[in-house]
Amino acid sequence: MKIKTYTNVLLILSILLFLSSCAPGNEKFTTEIAGFWMGLWHGFISFFTFIISLFNDDVTIYELNNSGKLYNLGFILGIAIFYGGGSKSSCGRRK
């Protein structure tokens, strides 16, 4: 039983490390501008990025060096995809 618990903890930590490596606030975007696809990714991982940003000041939720409207569109779509965007309420049985 302990091995399964340690494996689960290691898996969760590995996933968080992977997600934080792609989080907004990356040095890559000091020379490059984040576009639609990075906005989509940042919106999709926004929940995990928020958790990591509570403990690490270098990680931000939103990339400041972005392309503007396209990044914002991708960010909002990523959030809608991750959180379900209202489709969960329409899937219930009608009475």
Enter the tokens of residue 86: 């209202």
Helix intervals (H) in the chain: 2-21, 36-44, 46-55, 69-83, 87-90
Q: What is the pLDDT of residue 36?
A: 92
* Angle, CA of 60, 63 and 65, to the nearest 5°: 135
Residue 66 pairs with which residues in a beta bridge?
A: 34
The amino acid that residue 93 corresponds to is R
Nearest residue to 36 (alpha-carbon basis) of 5, 62, 58, 67: 67
For the chain, the structural domain boundaries read 2-84
The pLDDT score that the predictor gives to residue 64 is: 85
Check: pTM over 0.75? Answer yes or no.
no
| Per-residue model confidence as pLDDT tens for the chain (95 residues) | 677 787 888 887 777 666 656 666 666 667 788 889 988 988 888 888 888 888 888 888 888 888 889 999 999 999 998 888 666 566 556 55
